Amino acid sequence: NAGVMQNPRHLVRRRGQEARLRCSPMKGHSHVYWYRQLPEEGLKFMVYLQKENIIDESGMPKERFSAEFPKEGPSILRIQQVVRGDSAAYFCASSPQGSYNEQFFGPGTRLTVL
Amino acid sequence: AQTVTQSQPEMSVQEAETVTLSCTYDTSESDYYLFWYKQPPSRQMILVIRQEAYKQQNATENRFSVNFQKAAKSFSLKISDSQLGDAAMYFCAYRSGGSGSEKLVFGKGTKLTVNP
């Protein structure tokens, strides 16, 4: 059973461009979470999704950031008009249905904004 | 809002010795979960151990154990017989037990160095 897959592993964008980060949850997992890790910091929650639904987006910046988890295909975290402050590692985690299950993390995508 | 504090930015231990990493948290909830995650240089987040708040018994996983003091809101991690492969960042995390509130709240981490 493959783990949580994230791609790309490294992404370089210039200021003003768009960044798309992809996350494929573990097989059978219907819950996806996105976290951001700034340098020298712990992970900060961004958004929690189930298939076709955003459950909790309390950690998402109000502008430029969006997330989706369609019925088919990976979850996408989209950052429009990136700025240097968006440079960070973005981690996706998934869990099976149910509130009390462990979150399994992907390897992360390191975004660098030039 | 819940907060998690790790007061030790860095710790070091000699190989085969024991080290304890500290974590405190702030919450008004009675039902919650606590976790320790390890992040090696590869940056992969690996679950080390978890503790349910309703359980009085401290969790143990091989060389890793916790000291959970609910009244003091303290959740320390003890690593026994430290190995070189234990060198990593260690993050303490909190999760509410309520349904729909599944986000993890992380501390800033403790960097553990293991000296041969």
Question: What average pLDDT does this structure show over A75-85?
Answer: 97
Interface of B with A in 56-115 (CB under 8 A): 91, 97-109
Q: What per-residue confidence (pLDDT) applies to A98?
A: 62
Average pLDDT, chain B: 94
Q: What is the pLDDT of residues B56-86, one digit of tens each?
A: 899 999 999 999 999 999 999 999 999 999 9
Confidence of residue B101 (pLDDT cuts 50, 70, 90): low
pLDDT tens for A25-62 read 999 888 999 999 998 888 999 999 998 899 999 999 99
Mean pLDDT of A86-113: 89
- pLDDT of residue B55 exceeding 60, the answer is yes
Residues of chain B contacting A97 with CB distance shorter than 8 Å: none
- What pLDDT sits at residue B9? 95
CA pair distance A52, B90, nearest whole angstrom: 33
Question: How far apart are alpha carbons B106 and A56 in whole angstroms?
Answer: 17
CA-to-CA separations, B48 to B1, B41, B67, B88, in angstroms, rounded: 25, 16, 14, 12
| B1-23 residue pLDDT tens | 789 999 999 999 999 999 999 99
Residue A32's DSSP bridge partners are A49, A94
Judge whether residue A69 has pLDDT over 80. yes
- Of residues B46, B100, B103, nearest to A33 (C-beta): B103
The mean pLDDT of A4-12, rounded to a whole number, is 96
How does DSSP classify residue A101? P
| B 36-55 residues with CB < 8 A to A | 37, 42-47, 50
Cα–Cα distance between A29 and A27 in angstroms, integer?
A: 6
Looking at every residue in chain A, the average pLDDT score rounds to 92
**Residue A22 Cα, gap to closest chain B Cα (Å):** 16
- CB-based contacts of A87, cutoff 8 Å, min separation 6: A111, A112, A113
Q: Are A110 and A11 in contact (CB under 8 A)?
A: yes
Give me the sheet containing A75-79, strands edge to edge: A5-7, A19-24, A75-79, A65-68
